[in-house]
């Protein structure tokens, strides 16, 4: 087969800060997916993109080419059992520590007749994976056929499941390469990776939760804003109503970081309780998702308080083989970390807590690694709390006590206690981008 372009010429163009044409980009993604571009050549191109960037037209073309590498889902004809047409809305988080928001959010939005096709992933490194959390529920399964997904969206209104292999397969291959070549942080590649899957998924509107801070991939607000603006533009170019919130990930969300313990906390939120920050972000994202789907008179906070969201949660879990009333796994071993002094807790570093949970067994270093359902970190205080020396600050949980030492090492500088009267910055939503 005679190739339309030459990979080396394309690498040189981007190396020399040139602009790739749509035809060059279409060929590049197709040729790499079918093996006509070697791994080392795509590695070089990824690095050139990391160093020199892409303009909006290039990123849009790159995203469209990745979508074209696989199938596209279509929810435009989705109807309720009564025959009413259902709008769809989805949310994507760029990943954080204690970020269990998808669990209460999907059933909450479904209360108001908007279907939520939430395709989620598993965790890698210090950030938790939604599917890992849900798989701690006895019987629950992540893999669904497209037909089963459509049926559940029609009957229940919400589904959280794994993406099929046919959805943007070029992205899967590219992401694995970026992971081992130091190019994960390239904003054009992050944006196109996320948005190719979300656009191919076929949702009518999309809300992006772009995390900022130590526990996020974007450490500064400027980096997070650039990523958010890029993804919102990609959504607009594809005709998907897209907005983004920049949210604080300097501190873990809620009081848990793990799998089963995050499910437990999500159920508390669905029962009308739970930590204030988890409730606040769940409601705020629900409002954005509903508005994107054309629903403007809803009260998501009321639907958490009165049990309607819990009803949908139980139906959603049951529809995927899970038992929503079954006891969740618990870790066999625990160890408490105590406050070293009196004062106000002004810092609880999200990255440190996430690494500790990962080392305890809640996360994985490689995709094929297993996770412990009961492992993680349970927090007893958040920034702003008054603490006394010797009081519990957090409890470490694992089935393998030899993991405690390395988890403690990760937490060595995680906590900062200041004199009484100090006030930490606790703003949760930093900005909205549309």
Known catalytic residues are: 92, 171, 178, 193, 197
Q: What b/e readout covers 71-96, taking b as 16+ CB neighbours within 10 angstroms? A: eebebeebeeeeeeebbbbbbbbbbb
Residue 81 CB contacts under 8 Å (≥ 6 apart), including other chains: 154, 155
If you write DSSP's letter for every residue of 280-327 in order, what string do you get?
HHHHHHHHHHHHHTT--S--HHHHHHTSHHHHHHHHHHHHTT--TTSP
Residue 426 CB contacts under 8 Å (≥ 6 apart), including other chains: 248, 251, 383, 384
According to the 3-state scheme, what is the secondary structure of 71-91?
A: CCCCCCCCECCCCCECCEEEE
Report the distance separating Cα 46 and Cα 17, nearest Å. 13
Which residue in 304, 263, 256 sits closest to 280, CA to CA?
A: 304
- Judge whether 423 and 345 are in contact, CB under 8 Å: no
Q: What does DSSP assign to residue 37? A: S
Half-sphere exposure (Cβ direction) of 336: Cα atoms closer than 13 Å: 9
- Region at 204 (left for phi over 0; alpha for psi -120 to 50; beta for the rest): alpha
Residue 98 CB contacts under 8 Å (≥ 6 apart), including other chains: 128, 252, 253, 254, 255, 256, 257, 262, 350, 353
Beta bridge partners of 160: 118
Q: What b/e readout covers 325-346, taking b as 16+ CB neighbours within 10 angstroms? A: eeebbebebebebebeeebbbb
Tokens in use for 306? 């009165």
Which residue in 163, 131, 158 sits closest to 145, CA to CA?
A: 163
Q: Taking each helix axis as running N to C, give the angle between helix 169-179 and helix 187-201, from 0 to 180 degrees, rounded to the nearest 10.
A: 150
SS3 107: helix
């Amino acid at each position: 087969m005679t190739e339309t372009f030459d990979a080396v010429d394309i690498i040189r163009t981007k190396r020399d800060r040139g602009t790739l044409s749509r035809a060059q980009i279409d060929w590049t993604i197709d040729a790499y997916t079918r093996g006509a571009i070697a791994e080392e050549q795509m590695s070089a191109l990824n690095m050139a993109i990391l160093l020199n960037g892409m303009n909006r037209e290039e990123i849009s073309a790159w995203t469209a080419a990745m979508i074209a590498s696989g199938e596209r889902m279509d929810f435009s004809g989705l109807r309720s059992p009564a025959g009413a047409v259902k709008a769809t809305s989805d949310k994507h988080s760029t990943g954080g520590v204690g970020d269990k928001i998808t669990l209460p959010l999907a059933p909450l939005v479904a209360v108001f007749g908007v279907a939520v096709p939430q395709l989620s992933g598993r965790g890698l490194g210090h950030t938790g994976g939604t599917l890992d959390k849900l798989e701690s529920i006895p019987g629950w399964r992540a893999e669904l056929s497209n037909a089963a997904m459509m049926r559940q969206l029609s009957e229940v209104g919400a589904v959280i499941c794994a993406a099929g292999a046919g959805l943007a397969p070029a992205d899967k291959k590219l992401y694995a390469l970026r992971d081992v070549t130091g190019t994960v942080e390239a904003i054009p590649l992050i944006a196109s990776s996320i948005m190719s899957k979300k656009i191919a998924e076929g949702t009518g509107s999309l809300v992006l939760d772009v995390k900022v801070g130590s526990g996020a991939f974007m450490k500064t607000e400027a980096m997070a804003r650039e990523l958010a603006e890029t993804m919102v533009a990609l959504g607009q170019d594809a005709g998907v109503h897209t907005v983004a919130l920049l949210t604080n990930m300097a501190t873990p969300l809620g009081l848990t970081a793990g799998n089963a313990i995050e499910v437990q906390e999500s159920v508390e939120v669905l029962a009308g309780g739970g930590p204030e920050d988890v409730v606040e972000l769940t409601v705020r994202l629900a409002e954005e998702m509903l508005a994107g789907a054309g629903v403007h008179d809803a009260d998501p906070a009321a639907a958490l308080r009165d049990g309607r969201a819990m009803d949908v949660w139980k139906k959603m879990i049951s529809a995927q083989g899970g038992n929503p009333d079954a006891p969740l796994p618990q870790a066999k071993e625990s160890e408490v970390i105590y406050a070293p002094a009196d004062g106000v807790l002004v810092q609880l570093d999200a990255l440190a807590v996430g690494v500790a949970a990962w080392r305890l067994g809640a996360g994985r270093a490689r995709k094929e690694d297993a996770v412990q359902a009961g492992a993680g970190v349970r927090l007893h205080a958040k920034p702003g709390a008054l603490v006394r020396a010797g009081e519990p600050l957090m409890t470490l949980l694992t089935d393998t006590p030899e993991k405690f030492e390395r988890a403690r090492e990760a937490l060595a500088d995680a906590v900062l206690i200041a004199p009484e009267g100090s006030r930490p910055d606790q703003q949760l939503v930093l900005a909205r981008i549309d």
